[in-house]
């Protein structure tokens, strides 16, 4: 019984986890808006969700010039989705690629979609509770 309930909520759990991870990336971009050389990062949410739901994840191998190099955690993936660098609309003199207008819009859009996902999950739980009590 618990397995069926868990399966019913797995998609919502995955979507919320991805939205939360993306929000952290966007917040990091905003926090580093004045850091010279900082490259704005993001994930392709749709592709990441599709891979997570399918159970596959993309893992990019690190290039090593020696066989004794260790594989580190470079933060190049978020829940199996590759972290991509945003192309700057207007390059800056210090090499920073954060465009605050883009970041604020993406942050607000992601926050709104996160809240909608929470609402959908809440409604689904209410429906499941009604079905169990009936």
C-alpha 128: how far from chain center: 28
Indicate whether 68 belongs to any domain: no
Is 64 part of any domain? no
Q: Which of 58, 108, 107, 104 is nearest to 83 (CA)?
A: 58
Residue corresponding to tokens 């604020």: 104
pLDDT tens for each residue of 101-114: 999 999 999 999 99
pTM of the model: 0.79
Q: How many domains would you assign to the chain?
A: 1
Q: How confident is the model at residue 5 (pLDDT cuts 50, 70, 90)?
A: confident
Q: What's the confidence (pLDDT) of residue 60? A: 43
Position 17 in a domain:
yes
Q: How many residues does the chain have?
A: 134
- Confidence band for 70, pLDDT divided at 50, 70 and 90: low
DSSP 8-state assignment for residue 101 = H
Question: Using CA atoms in the order 123, 1, 3, 112, what is the torsion angle rounded to 10 degrees?
Answer: 0
Confidence check: pLDDT of 58 > 50: no
User: What's the confidence (pLDDT) of residue 74?
Assistant: 53
Residue 10 lies in a domain: yes
Contact of 61 with 2, CB cutoff 8 Å: no
- Domain contains 70: no
Range of the domain at 47: 2-58+75-133
Q: What is the separation, in whole angstroms, between the first and last Cα of the chain?
A: 16
What is the three-class DSSP state of 41? strand
In a domain, 19, yes or no: yes
DSSP string covering 38-76: ---EE--HHHHHHHHHHT----PPPP-SSTTPPPP--S-
């Amino acid at each position: 019984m618990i397995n069926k309930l868990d399966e019913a909520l797995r998609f919502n759990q995955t979507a919320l986890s991805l939205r939360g991870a993306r929000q952290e990336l966007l917040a990091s971009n905003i926090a580093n808006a004045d850091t010279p050389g900082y490259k704005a990062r993001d994930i392709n949410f749709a592709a990441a969700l599709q891979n997570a739901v399918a159970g596959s994840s993309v893992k990019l191998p690190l290039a090593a010039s020696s066989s004794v190099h260790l594989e580190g955690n470079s933060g190049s993936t978020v829940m199996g989705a590759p972290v991509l660098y945003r192309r700057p609309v207007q390059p800056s003199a210090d090499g920073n690629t954060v465009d605050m207008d883009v970041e604020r819009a993406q942050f607000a859009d992601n926050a709104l979609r996160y809240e909608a996902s929470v609402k959908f999950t809440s409604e689904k739980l209410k429906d499941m509770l009604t079905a169990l009590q009936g």
